[in-house]
Amino acid sequence: MKRFEQRRVLVTGAGSGIGRAIVLRLLAEGATVVGMSRTGDGLTKTEQLALDQGDGDRLTVAVLDISDEAAVAHTVPAAIAGIGGLDVLVNAAGIVRMSHTHETGTELWNTVLGTNLTGSFLVTRTALPALLDSGRGVVVNISSNAASYAAPYRAAYAASKGGLEALTRVLALEYSKRNLRAVCVSPGGIETAMTYSLLDVPPDIDPGLLSKMAPAIGPLLGAPEMVAGVVAMVASDDGEFITGTTIHVDGGAHI
């Protein structure tokens, strides 16, 4: 299936986890992709995996800290120009930190929101002219079920993802008459380095509260490729009647 032939895609968070899986899936479906990540090491592995599956010639990469406004203003337009425009933007970059809410300092709060919400906004704002010029632009924001259902010890993360879902609805309506769609894909527990980082938890948490977010079906953790498949659907013409909404990929943890 080559739903993305002749389509140009930018994916943030492409150096690992869900972002990398999205890059590889869209490449496999014929897309020309720019993958971005905060550091180059992960991007090197993504490039190698793309070569291994025979799609490396349609992938370029760029190092970008999306929370750095000046860097976004320079790097994103250059990347878009390099592939001749933009049809799909996937905001997959994100970070998480755990702490008791009453012990969460403003530095931690601002760091998490600066990447997950403000960073995604900065990339989207910069990419919007090219997406609108495409005439079939799609923004896919990777949210989390923490945006809609209680995620104890992750106040900043939950707030950032809730804000990202609100931003998605704004984009979907504001640009609906210009053929732009905006959709959130909301994973639950996915087998990524970020998920495993949650094992470094405050010493006095209540693990019973965390168990309330366990899936109802399937494995305890989903695979990144499960999310990538949903992103591929909503960003393609198969998702042409989907906008301004959130699709949960969490094994029923939200039920």
Q: Which of 149, 153, 157, 175 is the catalytic position?
A: 157
Q: Are 185 and 234 in contact (CB under 8 A)?
A: yes
179: exposed, middle or buried (Cβ count in 10 Å: 0-12, 13-18, 19+) = middle
Active site residue 175: no
Structure tokens at 228: 């990538």
CA 156 from chain center: how many Å? 17
Dihedral angle sign, alpha carbons of residues 36, 42, 43, 46: negative
| ∠ CA 243-72-151, rounded to 5° | 55
CB atoms inside a 10 Å sphere around CB 80? 21
Q: Are 143 and 184 in contact (CB under 8 A)?
A: yes
Active site residues: 157
